[in-house]
Chain A
Amino acid sequence: MTKEVLPLGTIYVSPRVIATIAYQAALQSYGVVGLAHKNFFNGVSQKLVKDPLHGVEVHYDGVEIRIDIYIIVEYGTRISAVASSVRDTVRYQVEKALGLPVACVNVHVRGLRISEVD
């Protein structure tokens, strides 16, 4: 649970909220076709997840937020550039929504979707 202590009370934000923001940000990122399940080993599952919490891990240790996100990328895009975009966009959107600093966003590319073959 992420919390911010304010003079008039405390605001609690559940990990699901952060995961949902990250999920939306990732899906809007160019080159991302969906999120993969975090609990499968690399490459085992290419199935897209619907629940943000399955594809996003949120860690909060009382000071900073760390996010791990598991994505499937469109074949034919430059994976490093797509992943960097996801990292920047997720961080920006989460910080913008919560006003709390995000220490790091780790992007795990779990698979490729091939919709067109060159």
Chain B
Amino acid sequence: MRSEKEKGQNPDRAPRAKEQVNGEVLKLLVEAGLTWLRTNQQIVNSLNVFPVPDGDTGTNMVLTMQAAHEEISNGNEKNFGKVAHAIAHGALMGARGNSGVILSQIWRGFARAVDNIETLDVPTFVKALASARDTAYKGVVRPVEGTILTVIKDVATAAQEALPEANDLLYLLEKIVKAADDSVQRTPELLPVLKEAGVVDSGGKGLFFILEGMLRYAKGMPLDAPTSTVMPIASMNLQRTMEIIEPGQDVEVVIDFRPYDKLDIETFYRDLEKMGTSIQLGEGDGIYRLHIHVSDGRQYEPIEYVKQVGIFTKVAMENLAAQMEQSEEKSGIAQLTLAPVEPGQIAAVAVAPGPGIARVFASLGAAAIVHGGQTMNPSTQEILSAFENLPTDKIVILPNNKNIIRTAEAAKELTVKKVAVIPSRSVPQGLAAIMHLSPHEDFNTVISEMEEALLQVETGEITRATRSVEIDGISVKEGEFIALHNGNLVASSSSLRDVTLELLRIAHADHFELITLFYGKDLTKQEANQIADEIRFAYPEQEIEVQDGGQPHYYFIISIE
């Protein structure tokens, strides 16, 4: 991976020339937009409910912008128009998903308006945004408002309105970022499905992050720091911050508070960044929730600070260092016995969300395990280093999660080894595939056999809803158990037993032979067995197996075959 981080952090290279921008500056701005979007990728993913709620908008937009950036990253072209055309070409070639395609059209329209332009000035910028909007709208017969389309439209309008008073590009950029932000906030009013789910539009938010990244860069602000935006409290992902604990930041503090006045988010973040890391701010119904990691002895500083801006209603503190020790003891990855690999053999790398699942993969012949799963996607580098040292050049990767397939594909591009990614979207699919691993057989034959096996298993997953939402006509309250059948939400209930049985009914478990339950780290063996007994009673013909999966978030991962 390239070092966008370093570049993004370097304020010395910020384009101080505010009146005219050439191709080189555009390149840096695109890089900044991409970096900032990537920093906030998970937020964008978590908002995705339209047109299909599959949680990949952020990822798709990042991949599209990444392709655009790759097209220009190696050149030194100074001509603004030429660089813009290269970006549009890259975005087109790499467009993924609905938002990605729209994003590529935005770039296409933008590029067309700056044809043969040496350096960008204010009037051309305004014209280019209008052209971006027009091209974006041409690509669809029935534009749906309350999406990224609305956001580019509002941005173009705001640019037009600001034109008479805009002397420099930075001023204009500030105006359009503000317009994008306001437009995103209005999306639930335009698109009922967003309102129903209590979110703003994900693609629009993604476009906002790209523009805001450019602005932050122009102002010399960091791009890899925790986002200084506010998300709905319900979509705050505090679990994720557990994995990026920095040494010395031992105490987690979560404060709920009600500010006296409208909160100045930028200042708030700036002050808190002096105290600690992993800062997240959520908002809901006028209550803000602050999450921060601080070093031992400084845990009262954020509370004192919050008292200056508002009234706090609740404070929670946890000792992270102690928690980490505990979870290391519990995970027991050390005892894993991996399959030995001889040169020339096919080696399997499996991504496993929990220690129990890792052990099962190892026992079935995985040569390397990468820890990761839902909300804890491993990096390309982690996957790469898992197999780079294996003494063979034939590698199959089992991502075992829809969101990790792309990461695995990226790892494939970075190695000289022959790598095949078996697109397993769940742990059961991965297990079904690894059963067909014959390390000595022909590589292509093994791959096609493993891929075929993916279809022979049904996947069930039981987790808890992180927010109240209505999807597919199933209304779910925050904290309820929900069941996913092959990734689709099919049932919800306040009872784990009921939701599990309902899932099996919907999956037609009575047509299958074997049901394997991998229980997660939030359940004890007794609890899992109780439910397994219920299932045995309901499905006397089927064989029921219970395994300790040890995965977080998911109470059960269920394989039905």
Contacts and interface: CB of A to CB of B under 8 A. Distances in A.
Interface string A30-53: 111110000000000000000000
Contact of A77 (B52, B112, B139, B488): B139
A116 B141 CA distance: 15
Nearest to B88: A118
A28 B51 contact: yes
Interface in B49-91: 51-52, 54
A20 interface: no
Contacts of A28: 51, 140, 142, 144
A34 B142 CA distance: 10
Contacts of A116: 112, 135, 138
What bracket does the count of chain A residues touching chain B fall in? 20 to 34
A30 B139 contact: yes
Interface in B97-145: 97-98, 100-102, 104-105, 108, 112, 135, 138-142, 144
A30 B138 contact: no
A5 to B, nearest CB: 15
Interface stretch (A6-14, A54-62, A85-93): A85-93
Nearest to A84: B97
Interface in A65-103: 74, 76-78, 81-82, 84-85, 88-89, 92-93, 95-96, 99
B140 A92 contact: no
Given A77-B104, A78-B101, A89-B51, A32 B141 contact: yes
Contacts of B472: 95-96
A37 B26 CA distance: 44
B384 to A, nearest CB: 26
B96 interface: yes
A93 to B, nearest CB: 8
Interface residues of B, number: 27
A74 B139 contact: yes
Nearest to B93: A78
Contacts of B100: 78, 81
A76 B92 contact: yes
Nearest to B96: A81
Contact of B140 (A30, A78, A81): A30
A88 B138 contact: no
Contact of A31 (B52, B140, B488): B140
B97 A34 contact: no
B490 to A, nearest CB: 10
B473 interface: yes
A29 to B, nearest CB: 7
Contacts of B142: 27-28
B95 interface: yes
A62 to B, nearest CB: 15
B93 A89 contact: no
A76 B101 contact: no
A78 B104 contact: yes
Nearest to B471: A96
Residue from the set B95, B108, B139, B473 with the largest chain A CB neighbour count within 10 Å: B139
Contacts of A88: 51-52, 54
Contact of A29 (B94, B96, B98, B105): B98
Contacts of B141: 27, 32-34
Interface string A102-115: 00000000000001
Interface string B18-31: 00000000000000
Contacts of A31: 101, 139-140
A105 to B, nearest CB: 12
Interface string B484-502: 0000100000000000000
A33 B142 CA distance: 9
Contact of B98 (A85, A95, A115): A85
Contacts of B102: 30
B144 A77 contact: no
B409 to A, nearest CB: 15
Given A30-B140, A116-B135, A116-B138, A92 B52 contact: yes
Nearest to A34: B141
Interface in B411-461: none
Contacts of B139: 30-31, 33, 74, 76-77
B105 A76 contact: yes
Residue from the set A25, A92, A95 with the largest chain B CB neighbour count within 10 Å: A92
Contacts of A77: 92, 95, 101, 104-105, 139
A118 B112 contact: yes
A92 B141 CA distance: 20
Nearest to B54: A88
A34 to B, nearest CB: 6
A89 B92 CA distance: 21
Given A27-B141, A88-B52, A81 B473 contact: no
A29 B51 contact: yes
Nearest to B136: A30
Given A88-B52, A88-B54, A81 B97 contact: yes
Nearest to B100: A81
Contacts of A29: 51, 98, 140
Residue from the set A29, A33, A96 with the largest chain B CB neighbour count within 10 Å: A29
A81 B138 CA distance: 17
Contacts of B54: 88
Residue from the set B102, B135, B141, B144 with the largest chain A CB neighbour count within 10 Å: B141
Interface string B300-319: 00000000000000000000
Contacts of A96: 472-473
16 contacts: A27-B142, A28-B51, A29-B140, A30-B101, A30-B139, A74-B140, A76-B105, A77-B104, A78-B92, A78-B93, A81-B95, A81-B101, A84-B97, A85-B98, A88-B52, A93-B51
Given A31-B139, A31-B140, A76-B108, 4 more contacts: A33-B140, A78-B92, A88-B54, A115-B138
